[in-house]
Structure 1
Amino acid sequence: MSPSKPAPIPPRRVLTDPVHFLAFGFGSGLSPKAPGTAGTVAAIPLYLLLSGLPLWGYLLATLIVIGVGVWLCGESSRRLGVHDHPGIVWDEFAGFLVTMIAAPAGWIWVLVGFVLFRIFDVLKPWPIGWLDRRVEGGFGIMVDDLLAGVYALVVLQLLAFAFTAP
């Protein structure tokens, strides 16, 4: 097996270890195809739960997800012995929550945010890809998705302004 594709993690190991269970997005990162996309889909219910909060509450919850994520992703990665294992998708949860800051209500905006986040997360425009290759540890796992979330947030807000302005 090539170094770029780590060995699959036994589902039992992920589902019975709280660190891996959370880092793998409640098991969504076990998806054999496109675990990052599966992780982002799994983040939608968390977003919907938090979207009813006032903006300050949503921001606080997002900061907690990010703060916990730096430790969680780093610890899961350390235990697996693989930096940024593809199944670790807590960073997708955090990036999607960043994308959806102050998003307009409605499923169309959830879908637009989802697509925008996935585009920026996959394409990794500068400096996302540069940071992804150079920053280590839990913060390194999180930083590319957080920046992809910021890029997607900006585009989402521009689209929302263009299509919802009176």
Structure 2
Amino acid sequence: MTDPSTPILKPRASFMLRHPAHWIAQGFGSGLSPIVPGTCGTLFGWLSFVVLSARWPQFFTPLNWGIIVVLGYVIGVWACSVTGKNLGVADHGSMVWDEIIAMWLVLIFVMPTPLSTQLYAFLLFRFFDMVKPPPIGFFDRKFKGGFGVMFDDIVAAFFTLLVFALWRTF
């Protein structure tokens, strides 16, 4: 456990492997990327969704993905809370489980779709997650801890899906 007064700025694999919550919150290592960890976590989410759905389609159905996302969200609140405390930073950039869960949520609703449409979903989600236009930024500031880490990304996923719904309508 780290003294909260001295935050860990660049966590390493050894930190991630110290506790199951770290391993989850840091996206199985995808959040340890030295550059754009949130984007790496989102890419991991995209790739894992596509690979798992293609490899085991009888299990990774939209309904089961929905259950996985709900359970992943609940687990993520816990994992991000523990990891944030141990890092000394409530919403550390290496914590990418929120991006993974949110990307899975987006893909549940846009798949099956061509690679180009998946790329648009990825880019739209990253835009909403990074820029945090209202009300995403409000929720990011209002809610703290593990819940706050997870919730603003779910709102970003919702806005991504809203854009897709509007795009398909017109």
TM-score normalised to the size of structure 2?
Answer: 0.84
Q: 1:114-137, CA deviations, whole angstroms, 9 ceiling, x for partnerless residues? A: 111000001111111111112111
What SS is found at the alignment partner of 2:27? coil
1:52-93, CA deviations, whole angstroms, 9 ceiling, x for partnerless residues? 433322211111111111111111111222110010000001
Query: Which of residues 134, 139, 150 is equivalent to 2:142?
Result: 134
Structure 2 counterpart of 1:77, from 67, 74, 84: 84
Between Structure 1 and Structure 2, how many residues are aligned?
Answer: 159
* 8 Å Cα contact 1:104/1:160 also seen in 2: no
- Aligned partner of 2:41 in structure 1 is 39
Contact 2:21 2:78 in 1 (8 A): no
Identity value in percent: 36
Amino acid at match of 1:35: P
CA distance in 2, matches of 1:135, 1:50: 33
Residues 1:96 and 2:66 aligned together: no
Runs of 4+ in 1 over 3 A off after TM superposition: 50-54, 157-162
Equivalent position of 1:65 in the other structure: 72
* Contact 1:40–1:93 (8 Å) recurs in 2: yes
Q: Per-residue deviation at 1:50?
A: 4.4
Contact 2:8 2:87 in 1 (8 A): no
SS at the partner of 1:102? Answer: helix
- Cα distance in structure 1, aligned partners of 2:63 and 2:166: 21
Which secondary structure does the structure 2 equivalent of 1:26 belong to? helix
Query: Aligned to 1:148, what secondary structure does the other structure show?
Result: helix
> Which one-letter code corresponds to 1:116 in the other structure?
L
- Within 5 Å, which residues of 2 pair with 1:1-166? 7-48=9-50, 49-50=52-53, 52=57, 53-105=60-112, 106-160=114-168
Cα separation, 1, equivalents of 2:93 and 2:47? 21
Unaligned runs of 5+ in 2: 1-6
Contact 2:8-2:88 within 8 A present in 1 as well: no
**Aligned-pair RMSD on alpha carbons?**
2.1
Please say if residues 103 and 125 of structure 2, whose CA atoms lie closer than 8 Å, have aligned partners that are also in contact.
yes
TM-score, scaled relative to structure 1:
0.86
User: Aligned partners of 2:162, 2:106: CA distance in 1, in Å?
Assistant: 8
What is the aligned partner in structure 1 of residue 3 from structure 2? Answer: none
Give distance in 2, aligned partners of 1:6 and 1:79: 8
Shift of 1:16: 4.5
